[in-house]
Amino acid sequence: MEKLKRFPIEERKKEKEKEIDKIDKIEDCPLETGKKLDLALLLLDRKKVAYLGNHKIVENDEEKQKFIKEFSQKLKDIKKTCEELGFLYNTEGLKVEDEVIVGFNISISKSGEDLTKFTDAEKKGDDKTMGLMFGYPETAVEAYNSEKSLDFEAFLKTELPEKERKQLEEEGVIKFFSFQPSKEHWKEELNKAREDQSLIKEKAPCLYEEIMKSE
């Protein structure tokens, strides 16, 4: 039987140091907490694509100019962080739509093949492919935009027993629940968020603390 190939200890140490260095870059970058989490989950292979953006409906020209400046800087910060991490990205840049909506979207991946696949899916409106590449559970993706999908926020407030809701809040897992679950499988799908939470707690403790303190 052929022996398994193992990387030398020093090489493994270097790979570990690279991961820690990239986690540090994410934790220290000037992005919102949710965007840092998306990048960390991409780095740790919990998703194939991160899709970041900011949008604002503006009421006058002064407000429009304010957000053009603010979002231009945010987009610049995201690009810089991606370049430092060695991530690939695709964006149309900052856009002003109908003079009242200012914003941008940027898709990010570690793989050029995955980035192309996601871009094609986005153009086709292929929500299933996009959802799976975001790392969402297949059952949630299948239920999305149908009567099988669960409005989780409303469910927490009006249907889930108070004891269970408080338990989830104390656990902090809701802060890692970034997708719309299915009515039938939401409890199992919640485990995906628990796994993400556990991984971030282990690999990015500073980011974990930031997330847990966030509103």
Give 84-109 pLDDT, tens digit per residue: 999 999 999 999 998 899 999 999 99
pLDDT of residue 1: 43
CA–CA separation, 196 and 173 (whole Å):
9
pLDDT of residue 18: 87
- Beta-bridge partner residues of 103: 55, 95
Instruction: For the beta carbon of residue 175, count every other beta carbon within 10 angstroms.
Output: 21
Cα 205 to chain center, whole Å?
Answer: 17
Residue 106 token pair: 């940027």
Residue 144 token pair: 């999305």
pLDDT of residue 2: 46
CA–CA separation, 131 and 118 (whole Å):
10
CA–CA separation, 48 and 129 (whole Å):
11
Query: Which stretches in the chain have pLDDT values below 50?
Result: 1-3
Tell me how far CA of residue 44 lies from CA of 122, 132, 147, in angstroms: 23, 16, 33
CB-based contact 49:115 (threshold 8 Å): yes
- Rg (C-alpha) for the chain, rounded Å, is 19
The vertex-187 CA angle with 184 and 193, nearest 5°, equals 125
Residue 141 token pair: 């993706």
CA–CA separation, 81 and 75 (whole Å):
10
Helix, coil or strand: residue 201: helix
